[in-house]
Structure 1
Amino acid sequence: MENRSVYNVAGSGVDSVVSTNKVLKNTYMLLGMTLLFSAFTAGVSMAMGLPAGAGLILTLVGFGLLFVVHKMADTAKGLPAIFAFTGVMGASIGPMLSHYLAMPNGPALVMQALGGTAVVFFGLSAYALTTRKDFSFMGGFLMVGLIVAVVAMIANIFLAIPALSLTISAAVIMIMSGLILFDTSRIIHGGETNYIRATVGLYLNIYNLFIHMLHLLTALGGDD
């Protein structure tokens, strides 16, 4: 009986590792495809010359689709839902990218933001994967920070204080970096077993990281 118990525990541990590795593989594969699709729809949006108002409307549509994705994540409709969501979110930043690319140093700034986002994401993901540390303790702090940042962003729409805008972007970059560690850790330790939901979390981290890094680089470069 003792030996059988040991075998059962060992078998269950192996199954858990295999399951976690499968979620990780599927998550990163789907994340890569959705990021490429977002880049494509952003390019289409820019080619069409969509105005900033259209970008705002698409962002609101994207938030609506986010709820649809979470609702359908456990069904066969989850995959088309996540591509609809990421496609709309990609298109929504087309007007913003057109604005930045029209600046004298715009193309270089966009490439720097893309490179910086990639370095942060791959660096933090690699750290979480190799150390296999549990970053679940960061959840509460990151959620509070996110709420404060959102409130500050809404307030700054009316206040329009440049220094506050820079502070918000710097804070969001730190929060998204923490969320990359947190979300990756959840996948590794079995806290998230649905690769569609896991992909959405990491996608939003990268999306917000890129936008705020671009804003920060532009402001620091004196082009904003």
Structure 2
Amino acid sequence: MANWNEPRGDRTDFGTTPGSYGEVADNTVMDQGLRKHMLSIYNYMASGVLLTGIVALAAVATGVTQAIFGTGLWFVVALSPLAFVLFMSFGANKFSAGALQVMFWSFATVMGVSMSTIFLQFSADSIAVTFFATAGAFAGLSLWGYTTKKDLSGFGSFLIMGVVGLIIASLLNAFLIGSPGLELAIAAIGVLIFAGLTAYDTQRLKAEYFHFRGTEWAQKSIILGALSLYLDFINMFMFLLRFLGSRE
């Protein structure tokens, strides 16, 4: 996941004028390598989101969600994605790139079953509208994070603290307070926080390319980068669904 000590992405500036033909060639190769690296991350992330959607639809269509929802098995399913994230994030040094790939696809699959309950709570039309709204916002924010010259590294700690605060506030509201107004406020703040994380993580992943290229960590950083952007997208979608979703 996010590593706040990674080198900043502005260590290489493609906008500067090279001093020799050799530098032009080096910058061109580096730029092509960066684009390939980022496209690989986006492809993994998009494939993971697609797999999650297919599994969620299949789980509802086959009655799996209805059968296990509210049972003890459901809590296991609901908590499984968190376990995958923790294993991948903190055990990345021990796992091979192939093992991380298997864990990523397994995570996306389990996440699909876990998210399938949205089809029992919201109308299909509102889910579709929210998904495409999230996709558009995500694309714009990620593009801005990739192209901006502004250093976003200073926002990292603040955004992570915001995520922790969201989790605490959500748990308190769910089990103790139960306020609809607070739920909407949490959703609004959640959308803003994960919008910021989308731009921040994109810039961070761009910087990581220059740090890891040519090492065994290069492929691992692609998978872990896809996991970061996947989580940004899914969380932004879920919080936005609280606003735009029509309850069944």
Question: Which of 200, 204, 210 matches 2:237?
Answer: 210
Q: CA deviation at 1:107?
A: 2.3
| AA of the residue aligned to 2:134 | T
- Are 2:104 and 1:82 equivalent residues in the alignment? yes
Aligned partners of 1:196, 1:150: CA distance in 2, in Å? 25
Match of 1:91 in 2: 113
**Within-5 A mapping of 1:139-150:** 139-150=156-167
Match of 1:34 in 2: 48
Instruction: Check whether the contact 2:146–2:199 (CA below 8 A) recurs between aligned residues.
Output: no
Match of 1:3 in 2: none
- Are 2:182 and 1:182 equivalent residues in the alignment? no
SS state at 2:117 partner: helix
Aligned partners of 1:183, 1:35: CA distance in 2, in Å? 17
| Greater mean deviation of Cα atoms: 120-129 or 10-19 | 10-19
Question: Which of 170, 194, 198 matches 1:153?
Answer: 170
Instruction: Check whether the contact 1:45–1:95 (CA below 8 A) recurs between aligned residues.
Output: no
Question: Comparing both structures, which one devotes a greater share of its residues to helix?
Answer: 1
Q: CA deviation at 1:16?
A: 4.6
Match of 2:155 in 1: 138
Aligned partners of 1:20, 1:55: CA distance in 2, in Å? 41
SS state at 2:151 partner: coil
Q: CA deviation at 1:98?
A: 2.2
Match of 1:64 in 2: 83
Match of 1:117 in 2: 134
Q: CA RMSD in A?
A: 2.5
For structure 1, list consecutive stretches of 5 or more residues without a partner in the other structure. 1-5, 101-105
For structure 2, list consecutive stretches of 5 or more residues without a partner in the other structure. 1-19, 213-220
Aligned partners of 1:55, 1:211: CA distance in 2, in Å? 19
SS state at 2:97 partner: coil
Match of 1:22 in 2: 36
Q: TM-score scaled to structure 2, two decimals?
A: 0.76
Match of 2:58 in 1: 44
Residues 64-100 of structure 1: CA distance to partner in whole angstroms, max 9, x if unpaired? 1112333246532111110000111111011222221
Aligned partners of 1:214, 1:112: CA distance in 2, in Å? 9
Q: TM-score scaled to structure 1, two decimals?
A: 0.83
Distance 1:20 1:132, change over 3 A: farther
Identity among equivalent positions (%) equals 24
Question: Which of 196, 209, 215 matches 2:223?
Answer: 196
Query: How many residues are paired up?
Result: 212
Aligned partners of 1:124, 1:82: CA distance in 2, in Å? 23
**Within-5 A mapping of 1:160-179:** 160-179=178-197
- Displaced runs of 4 or more, over 4 A: 6-16
